[in-house]
Amino acid sequence: MMGIEALVAGEAPSVEGLAALLACDDPRVADELMAAAYEVKVREVGAVAWLRGLVEISNVCRCDCRYCGIRRSNDAVERYTVPVDEVLAAGQVAFESGFGSVVLQGGERGDAAFVDDVEEMVRGLRDLSAGRLAITLSLGEQSPATYRRWREAGAERYLLRIETTNRRLFDAIHTGEQDFDARLNCLDELRAQDWQVGTGVMIGLPGQTAGDLARDILFMRDRDVDMVGMGPFIPHAGTPLAGSLGPEEDYRPRQLDLSLRMIACARLVLRDVNIASTTALQALHPQGRERGLRAGANVLMPNLTHVRHRRGYQLYDGKPGLDEGSEESLRALERSVAAVGEAIGYGHPGTSPHYRRRVARGDDA
């Protein structure tokens, strides 16, 4: 198939070329694509999997996104907020386990108490690790002042998915409260405030085309992002998009394969960024995350959220890992990373070479 060698060689891709690769379900082409992406990954970011401990700090959310299990109007969800000291205890575990970073993720909230609490969490994490644990936030759209406070408290990485760069699709999966341009402005603001910026999309949304996904990759390239977090869309029964992909046994393998091709194409185009192999991949296949590493991802995000909250953070159906983050599951993770022929990168923040290069170049940052 056209294009794979050219991509490995670093040639600029066309939307059509990328879309053809993303749409191609010939397993031989997929194997070739994964092998090429893996080669580029090892060359650009090494055969190392970085760990980020994920703490889902609250499932309270002001948004009502039509795909999301913790959307405001889902009354079936029991809402929780993790107290600051519990987040710090999880951070301590991450630090002592040698994780490069902790990610605080949660529903989107703008209330003063929440903003204060997050600031306290960030300071606490910075202090307990003497600044050696990179702090990543994934808390949605916030005001420039809030981003600034959290940045000054010591957080340095922010993940804010654009979800899809097709504006019509963006509007269709949200409720009118979410605005595409507002999301872009947030990404601009984060960049201007010197965050390491990550974005990403959901893969396999109803009505999304291979061309859309190709443009998503080019969007991330053009925005010069440092990190990518993207994963398969998985319908949640308690949302308006329930049933939107047809029967589960049909969509699971389809979403998995498409997501792996998307990761591989993103690696071939974006080269030196960090790309997460997300939990949603594992929800589709027991070895989903390892397959993500083989397709070019280099970051794993073990869940450190206290087990008593985990049921409350079901963004999609079948979310795995009720015991994840335990000592035992970490050993299991090590074994599966070793099975891919890689090592876990302990005791180091694992900053993406992309970010280090753009800072060294003195780009606007």
Interacting residue ranges for ligand 5AD, rule: CB under 6 A: 67-68, 161, 163, 202, 231, 233-234, 236, 280, 315-316
Beta-ladder partners of 148: none
CB of 246 to ligand 5AD, least distance (A): 15
CB proximity list for 104: less than 8 A, separation 6 or greater: 55, 57, 87, 118, 121, 122, 135, 136, 137, 138, 139
- What six digits make up the tokens of 106? 């949660």
Q: What DSSP designation does 315 have?
A: S
Q: Select 163 or 212, whichever has its Cβ closest to ligand 5AD.
A: 163
Q: For ligand 5AD, which is the closer residue by CB, 236 or 354?
A: 236
Q: Give the chain's radius of gyration (CA, Å).
A: 19
Phi and psi angles of residue 7, each rounded to the nearest 5 degrees, phi first: -65, -40
> How many residues are listed for the chain in this entry?
365
**Which residue in the shown chain puts its C-beta closest to ligand 5AD?**
316
Q: CB of 245 within 8 A of CB of 235?
A: yes
Give whichever of 67 and 147 is closer to ligand 5AD, judged by the CB atom.
67
Q: Which is nearer to ligand 5AD, 163 or 189 (CB)?
A: 163
Strands (E), the chain: 48-58, 101-106, 134-138, 157-159, 196-199, 202-203, 227-228, 231-232, 274-277, 299-300, 343-345
- CB of 363 vs ligand 5AD, minimal distance in Å: 26
Nearer to ligand 5AD, 64 or 120 (CB): 64
CB of 65 to ligand 5AD, least distance (A): 7
Nearer to ligand 5AD, 7 or 227 (CB): 227
Nearer to ligand 5AD (CB atom), residue 68 or residue 258:
68
Is the distance from CB of 45 to CB of 353 less than 8 angstroms? Answer: yes
Any bridge partners for residue 198, and if so which? 159, 227
Least distance CB 4 / ligand 5AD (angstroms): 28
- Taking the least distance from each CB to ligand 5AD, the nearer of 163 and 257 is 163
Rounded to a whole number of angstroms, the minimum distance from the CB of residue 1 to ligand 5AD is: 28
What sign results for the dihedral spanned by CA atoms 188, 260, 323, 299?
Answer: negative
| Residue 143 CB, nearest approach to ligand 5AD (Å) | 19
Q: Measure the CA–CA gap between 328 and 324, rounded to whole angstroms.
A: 8
| In the complex, least distance from residue 167 CB atom to ligand 5AD, rounded to whole angstroms | 16
**Minimum distance of ligand 5AD from residue 203's CB (angstroms):** 8
